Amino acid sequence: MNGRHVAVVGAGMIRFGKYPDASYPDLAQPAVVDAIRSAGIEPHEIDATFCGHSFGGMLTGQRILKGLGMTGEAIVNVENACSSGAGAFHQAQAAIASGEIETALVIGVDKLTQFAGGTLPLNVEDHEVASGMVMPALYAMRAQRYLHDYGYDADDLARVSVKARANGALNPFAQFRKPVTLEEVRASRPIAEPLNLFQCCPTGDGGAAVVLMSAERARRSGATPVWVRASVLHSGRYMTGFRDFTLPEITVRSAKDAYEQAGIGPDDLDFAEVHDAFTIAELLYYEALQLCERGEAPRLVADGVTALGGRVPVNPSGGLLAKGHPIGATGVGQLAEAYWQLTGRCGDRQVAGARIGLTHVTGGGIAGFDHGACAITILAA
Amino acid sequence: MSFSPQIAIAEPSTVVATGTGTEIARRGVSFDGNSVVLVASACTACDAVAWPPAARCHACWAAVTPRRLATSGTLYAFTTVHTAALGTEVPYVIGYVDLPDGVRVFTPLRGDASRLRIDGPVTLHGAAGAPGAGFWFEAAR
């Protein structure tokens, strides 16, 4: 890390789910209040707020904070698709590391029930979107290629859902709290072949928040610090030619940079929260994050390596598949989970003795890219 | 020796309107009677090829020239979509076709879907009045 050390000192989150009558402030304010209270500080101690969202419209952060008497300081609204919240976190930690501010609030929020149904609305200025590209289809093609190239079958995908839902059942913040069986995943309706409904993250709404401080301020505050060991934000590389769908280049690059920043390797991770928007994504990210060799990811799931109690639990929260994926809220929700894991506050889903955790989000839906954005954070107790 | 910027009176650049995603894709399709061909842009300096065609080279900003692409290629990946954007009729089949020109094209797929194979041969079809960008690929006969 360049510059001053930065700590996460508080976190808050609502249970992700469907809140069709709630406004953006309704979704975010409870998380902000909980995050600031858990940090043990007063609202006026926040020097700047970074608010990540994709579909909140103009001045979302200001609309949230006006009802909490937290106006007057800088509020920055950040849009980067599914990396909006984690992108806001990245900007916040950079502002503290550089010495510009001492204390920052990061908000992630989105409300997907505002749309009347169908897949996530993508931008029609994109020629692929205009010709029928939707997010499940993109991941479906990655899944098809992965199964073909490495000789796996649909059950290898489905097992990721079974693991995710089992973890979600233990998480009071999760949208889905009911375990599912392999048979139930198989029997769910097709979305984009080979992916079916239970292999796709749900539509939902959510709000999450974390408080960051400089090391000096954190030590004085009395809050429990979790240290930011790496924070990486990249855009994908635009390519017009051939690319390997089983090798998510933006995550590969971001992970490499994050490990280098933190001075650790993948073997040092006690858990990871990764962008499992669809089952295939989690498998591809095991390999991109170097948790295993290429082509081996399904074995980690089958052998319980990434289950709670395994060598490196992945998505102990239930991940996007079970906890939910309100786009801009997701990255901050992961960071809240990581903060709670590293401070021993996760109850039934606690990763025993967790000292180092990684969070990872991407942001897709743009022609010529693996993904448009990717943010990886490594936190340490 | 110091770098000297070009000094001139500031003038507004020209805006080239490329339109919606559908219009962008249509600019890369050319019809000649019953035959259809995809037309990419090729950079006059670095030979980077882009489909749909771009107004300038994305890699080096140099001028581009049209390049007609091969009308058959291999199917890199494909899927049948059962849940789509609101208001879109389902199911439909889409995929990526790799052309020997080094370009990967996102395309609707028509014809007998059971004949589609990963890495299998596909050929270009089109009609000037067809919906969307007016072209699609089918499994080769």
The reported pLDDT for the residue numbered B4 is 72
Name the E strands within chain A.
6-13, 48-52, 74-78, 103-111, 190-192, 195-196, 205-214, 226-235, 271-273, 356-363, 373-380
**Buried b or exposed e, range A287-298, using 16+ CB within 10 angstroms:** bbbbbbebeebb
Contacting residues for A24 by C-beta, under 8 A, at least 6 apart: A53, A56, A60, A63, A64, A109, A111, A207
Nearest residue on chain B to A194, alpha-carbon basis = B79
Q: Between chains, do B21 and A129 touch, taking CB under 8 Å as contact?
A: yes
Segment B13-22 shows an average pLDDT of 90
The reported pLDDT for the residue numbered B1 is 44
Segment A183-203 shows an average pLDDT of 98
> What does the pLDDT look like over A130-186, one tens digit per residue?
999 999 999 999 999 999 999 999 999 999 999 999 999 999 999 999 999 999 999
Tell me the shortest Cα–Cα distance from B74 to chain A, in angstroms. Answer: 12
> What does the pLDDT look like over A81-97, one tens digit per residue?
999 999 999 999 999 99
Cβ atoms within 10 Å of A304's Cβ, excluding its own: 13
- B55 and A CB contact within 8 Å: no
Residue B28 has pLDDT above 60, yes or no: yes
Nearest to B133 among A131, A148, A189 (CB): A131
Tell me the shortest Cα–Cα distance from A52 to chain B, in angstroms. Answer: 24
Residue A235 has pLDDT above 70, yes or no: yes
Residue A348 has pLDDT above 60, yes or no: yes
Residue % of chain B over a pLDDT of 90: 79
The reported pLDDT for the residue numbered A61 is 98
Choose, out of B83, B101, B114, B119, the residue to mutate when testing the contact with A (most A CBs < 10 Å): B83
Q: Which fold has domain A127-196+230-380?
A: Peroxisomal Thiolase; Chain A, domain 1 (3.40.47)
Segment A63-76 shows an average pLDDT of 98
Count contacts between A and B (CB, < 8 Å): 120
- For chain A, the domains span 6-115+204-228, 127-196+230-380
pLDDT band at B16 (very low <50, low <70, confident <90, very high): confident
Domain A6-115+204-228: give its CATH architecture: 3-Layer(aba) Sandwich (3.40)
Cβ atoms within 10 Å of B4's Cβ, excluding its own: 6
Q: Which fold has domain B21-139?
A: OB fold (Dihydrolipoamide Acetyltransferase, E2P) (2.40.50)
Query: What six digits make up the tokens of A218?
Result: 């954190």
Q: Between chains, do A193 and B51 touch, taking CB under 8 Å as contact?
A: no
Tell me the shortest Cα–Cα distance from A82 to chain B, in angstroms. Answer: 18
Q: What is the set of active-site residues of A?
A: 82
Nearest residue on chain B to A144, alpha-carbon basis = B77
Residue B2 has pLDDT above 70, yes or no: no
Q: Which residue has the higher pLDDT, B112 or B130?
A: B112
Alpha-carbon radius of gyration of chain A = 19
Residue with the two structure tokens 């699609």:
B136
- B102 and A CB contact within 8 Å: yes
Nearest residue on chain A to B28, alpha-carbon basis = A127
Please enumerate residues of A whose Cβ is less than 8 A from a Cβ of B.
115-119, 121-134, 136-137, 140-142, 144-145, 148, 189-194, 238, 240-243, 245, 367
Choose, out of A127, A146, A246, A366, the residue to mutate when testing the contact with B (most B CBs < 10 Å): A127
Residues in A closer than 8 angstroms to B20, CB to CB, are 124-125, 130
pLDDT band at A121 (very low <50, low <70, confident <90, very high): very high
Q: Between chains, do B49 and A125 touch, taking CB under 8 Å as contact?
A: no
Residue A101 has pLDDT above 80, yes or no: yes
Tell me the shortest Cα–Cα distance from A119 to chain B, in angstroms. Answer: 5
The reported pLDDT for the residue numbered B3 is 65
> What does the pLDDT look like over A298-328, one tens digit per residue?
999 999 999 999 999 999 999 999 999 999 9
The reported pLDDT for the residue numbered A5 is 97
Segment A196-218 shows an average pLDDT of 97
- Using CA atoms, how far apart are residues A109 and A31, in angstroms rounded to an integer? 10
- Using CA atoms, how far apart are residues B70 and B49, in angstroms rounded to an integer? 13
Segment B119-137 shows an average pLDDT of 94
Q: Which long-range contacts (CB under 8 A, 24 or more apart) does A354-357 make?
A: A354/A270, A354/A271, A354/A381, A355/A270, A355/A380, A355/A381, A356/A229, A356/A264, A356/A268, A356/A269, A356/A270, A356/A380, A356/A381, A357/A269, A357/A270, A357/A271, A357/A272, A357/A273
- Using CA atoms, how far apart are residues A215 and A25, in angstroms rounded to an integer? 30
Tell me the shortest Cα–Cα distance from B50 to chain A, in angstroms. Answer: 6
Q: Between chains, do B82 and A189 touch, taking CB under 8 Å as contact?
A: yes
The reported pLDDT for the residue numbered A1 is 60
Q: Between chains, do B85 and A134 touch, taking CB under 8 Å as contact?
A: yes
The reported pLDDT for the residue numbered B33 is 80
Nearest to B79 among A117, A119, A137 (CB): A137
Q: Parallel, antiparallel, or unpaired for β A356-363 and B35-43? A: unpaired
Choose, out of B106, B109, B118, the residue to mutate when testing the contact with A (most A CBs < 10 Å): B106
Q: Between chains, do B22 and A128 touch, taking CB under 8 Å as contact?
A: no
- B60 and A CB contact within 8 Å: no
